[in-house]
Every structure is written in structure tokens, then in C-alpha cells.
Amino acid sequence: MIKWGAAILGFYLFRFPGAILGFIVGSFIDNLSSKSGGFKSAFDDARRQSVSPADFELNLLSLCSLVIKADGKVSQSEMDYVQRYFVGTYGKEKANAIFRTFNEVIKKQEVSAQRICEYMNQRTRPEVRLQLIHFLFGIAQADGSVSAAEINKIEEIARYLKIGRSAFESVKAMFIKSADNAYKILEIEKSVSNDELKKAYRTMAKKYHPDRVNTENEAIKKGAEEKFKEVQIAYETIQKERGIN
């Protein structure tokens, strides 16, 4: 009965632009339903919660959906990643409310990355927006690899969020490994002196310090801590390569 509900939801939303989003949200709801006593129970839980189309959580889910569908396929591992985030952060009832409200919104309009990012820019600090990019890369990597289409979509979102090229490449380097990975994370060239390296590390450590991410969202705080650790690892890696004690 639960899977039938997802199929109907997905089929219905194929009548609207961005229909694959309906399948994504239907799967979110079905997964939550199976863990909380069935489809009716999940529906009743959602009714008790109120989510406005302007809420931060709803806009965040919209960005997640854009990354999930960027490569033209829906990965279960990516959906599970997002679901764990929303359930762990907001609880099952609130998560269900977010998914259902999102479902209603996309029946009426396309999900616009530019519009959503304009909303985020007005209400979040640059440090939080940078952490959102880190979170979106985490979604893309959940299935084991980050595709070119996913990178392009996240880069587009980063531009709308007014995140500079070097900052974007720094976060990207934490997920897409390369020979000069550590230098990219610290936003420096290989030719920098040891003194410049130390200065860059101090700058990046301050920039990515978890305390700068002024939010009550525990998942975003955890991501900031992970990013901060990546900066430390990058610095230590370069120190080792150069024989610096």
C-alpha cells in the first residue's frame, strides 16, 4: 500500500514540470511512513506540523532535490542521505511536514535555484552558505562518486549564493581528490613560500572555524567541524611534503 502511494504521487506529478521531484519527495514520504506506523500515520503526523513555503528548511530541501536530479537519475543512497539529515535534525513529524509542503509547492511552480539562493542570501551569513555547499557535495558523494553534472549544478548554486571561485574550489577539493588537493583546500598555489603557507592556514582556519557558523542546526555545525578538520589535514599534508616540523 505504501509503495502504491509513492507510485501514484510520482505519476501525478509527471503532469507538471520537474516531475522527477515528485518521485523524490514521494520516496521520502514512503520511507518515513514505513518507519512510523504506515502511510496514514505519517500523513497524520504531517498534519500536526506547519511549514511555510518560505521556511529555510523547505528551501534547503529544494536545493537538495536539484542536486539529486542533476545527473538525470535518482540515487537511493542520495535520498537516504537527505532523509537522515532532515529526520535527524527536525524529527520525523517535522520532516514529513517539510516533504509534504514541498510536494504542494512544486505542483504550482518550478524549483528555481536562483530564487531560493536570493532568499538564502538575505537570511544567512556567508559562513552558513558556504556550509550549504559542503552539504550539497555530501549529497552528491553519497552514492560513491560525484558526477560532472552534479558538480556543475552545485557550482551554479554557489554562484547564486555569492560564493567566490576560490572558496568553491576549496570545498570541492574536500570531495574531489587531486594531486594538488591540499593546496586547493587552503586556496593557495604550490609556489607559495613556507611563511605564506602558514599565513594561508591561519586565514583558512579562521574562515572555516565552526564557531563562525552561527546556527542552531546541528547537522550544519557538524559539517563545519568536518570542513575545519580538512583544512588542518591539508596543512599537515603540505608540511610533511616540505619537511616542515
233 in any annotated domain = no
181 in any annotated domain = no
Tens digit of pLDDT at every position of the chain (245 positions): 334 333 333 333 333 334 445 555 555 545 544 444 433 333 344 344 444 545 788 888 889 989 998 988 888 899 888 888 888 888 888 888 888 888 777 767 777 899 989 988 988 888 888 889 999 999 999 999 899 999 999 999 999 999 999 999 999 998 988 778 889 888 888 889 999 999 999 988 888 787 776 666 666 677 778 888 888 988 998 998 888 87
- pTM greater than the 0.85 cutoff: no
Residue for grid cell 576549496:
170
169 in any annotated domain = no
Residues 6+ apart with CB under 8 A from 62: 102, 111, 116
pLDDT at 51: 43
pLDDT at 133: 93
49 in any annotated domain = yes
CB atoms within 10 A of CB 158: 23
For residue 239, give Cα distances in angstroms to 19, 41, 161, 194, 203: 50, 56, 33, 9, 16
190 in any annotated domain = no
pLDDT at 7: 38
Burial environment of residue 20 by CB neighbours within 10 A (0 to 12, 13 to 18, 19 or more): middle
How far apart (Å, rounded) are the C-alpha atoms in residues 242 and 229?
Answer: 20
How far apart (Å, rounded) are the C-alpha atoms in residues 57 and 94?
Answer: 10
- The 10 Å CB-count burial string (b at 16+, else e) for 114-139 is eebbebbeeebeebbbbbbbbbbbbb
Report the helix count and the strand count for the chain, using DSSP H and E: 12, 0
Q: Is the distance from CB of 89 to CB of 78 less than 8 angstroms?
A: no
pLDDT at 207: 80
Residue for grid cell 518550478:
110
Q: Dig out the grid coordinates for 233 from the structure.
A: 589535514
Specify the number of domains making up the chain.
Answer: 1
Q: Is the distance from CB of 232 to CB of 205 less than 8 angstroms?
A: yes
pLDDT at 1: 39
- Nearest Cα neighbor of 27 from 94, 128, 102 is 102
pLDDT at 214: 65
Range of the domain at 100: 1-110
- Nearest Cα neighbor of 155 from 166, 141, 142 is 166
What are the E-state strand segments in the chain? none
62 in any annotated domain = yes
pLDDT at 26: 55
Residues 6+ apart with CB under 8 A from 129: 120, 121, 161, 162, 163
Q: Is the distance from CB of 134 to CB of 169 less than 8 angstroms?
A: no
72 in any annotated domain = yes
58 in any annotated domain = yes
